[in-house]
Amino acid sequence: MTGYKNCIMSKFSGPEKDEICLDLIKEDPLSIRIQGKPYTVVLRTPGDEIAHVAGFCLGEGIIDSSDDFENLGYCGEDVNVVTVTLKPERINRIPDILKRRGFISQTSCGICGKELVDDLKQNITPILEGPKVDAKMATHCLNTLSDHQTHRQSCHAAAIFTGDGKLLSVGEDVGRHNALDKSIGKLVQDGKLDMGSVLVLTSRISYELVQKAARAKIPVIFAVSGPTALAVELAESLGMALVCQTRNKDLFVFCGEHRLAMV
């Protein structure tokens, strides 16, 4: 990640003023083009652009796996533009998504929670039952997440682990959604999308993070903050577990207790 910019600012200690130089995290636009046409622009911390777009495409239903890509790469030498070319058979399956009909923005309004969940569920199937995840192990993954971060003071992070606690990928970004897209996108690129069992987050669990995790078939989410009510509603309908840790180290399991082995 090359996401810092040198900035000069004033530092006050009472009436005394000094000029200091600090590296501030950058936030630059990333243009995503699909089939040669502009699709969307997102603000993100520079770095991991290809993984970011791969994860974004999975989360939005543009792809189901890396096999749906004909090509994925930068537009020439411009790292702020990523172009996506889909295989013809995939294009024929998602005409409405490519035309952005029924597209739900991450900041959409004017739609009630029930309508939103019902709409999202049309494109996401419930996650199949599997082995229980050791809650103690997942808690350890959450508590040691900062060990895997490069920019822990500046960015959100999303890390994905196997069911036995092996780290698969980490994404960092000023945007929590971008961090998750990057982390999931790395699994798409590495062909490990079917290995993720536990997602740990530095952020609150919102419905769109549940949506992205569900598209990646990750059944268990642990986070430092609790979920929104809409996130719980969506996760419960998809058979997922949402967990956060309190300040005194207790666990709040909001849904999906059947996914966990509580030791």
Contact 5, 23 (CB under 8 A): yes
Please state the rounded mean pLDDT for residues 158-187.
96
Identify the pLDDT of residue 4.
65
pTM over 0.85: yes
Domain layout of the chain by residue ranges: 28-110, 135-259
Identify the pLDDT of residue 176.
93
Distance CA 137, CA 263 (A): 10
Question: Which comes out higher in pLDDT, residue 172 or 111?
Answer: 172
Instruction: Please report which confidence band the pLDDT of residue 123 belongs to, taking 50, 70 and 90 as the band edges.
Output: low
Choosing from 21, 57, 109, 244, the catalytic residue is: 109
Give the chain as a 3 state SS string: CCCEEEEEEEEEECCEEEEEEEEEECCEEEEEEECCEEEEEEEECCCCHHHHHHHHHHHCCCCCCHHHEEEEEEECCEEEEEEEEECHHHHHHCHHHHCCCCCCCCCCCCCCHHHHHHHHHCCCCCCCCCCCEEHHHHHHHHHCHHHHCCCCCCCEEEEEECCCCCEEEEEEECCHHHHHHHHHHHHHHHCCCCCCCEEEECCCECHHHHHHHHHCCCCEEEECCCECHHHHHHHHHCCCEEEEECCCCCEEEEECHHHEECC
Residue type, 137: M
Residue 109 known to be catalytic: yes
Homologous superfamily of 135-259: Cytidine Deaminase, domain 2 (3.40.140.10)
Contact 85, 70 (CB under 8 A): yes
Residue 118 has pLDDT above 70, yes or no: no
Instruction: Please report which confidence band the pLDDT of residue 156 belongs to, taking 50, 70 and 90 as the band edges.
Output: very high
| Residue 40 CB-density burial (10 A; 0-12 exposed, 13-18 middle, 19+ buried) | middle
Residue 256 has pLDDT above 80, yes or no: yes
Nearest CA to 197 out of 134, 144, 146 is that of 134
Arch. (CATH architecture) of 28-110: Roll (3.10)
Identify the pLDDT of residue 77.
86
Instruction: Please report which confidence band the pLDDT of residue 107 belongs to, taking 50, 70 and 90 as the band edges.
Output: very low
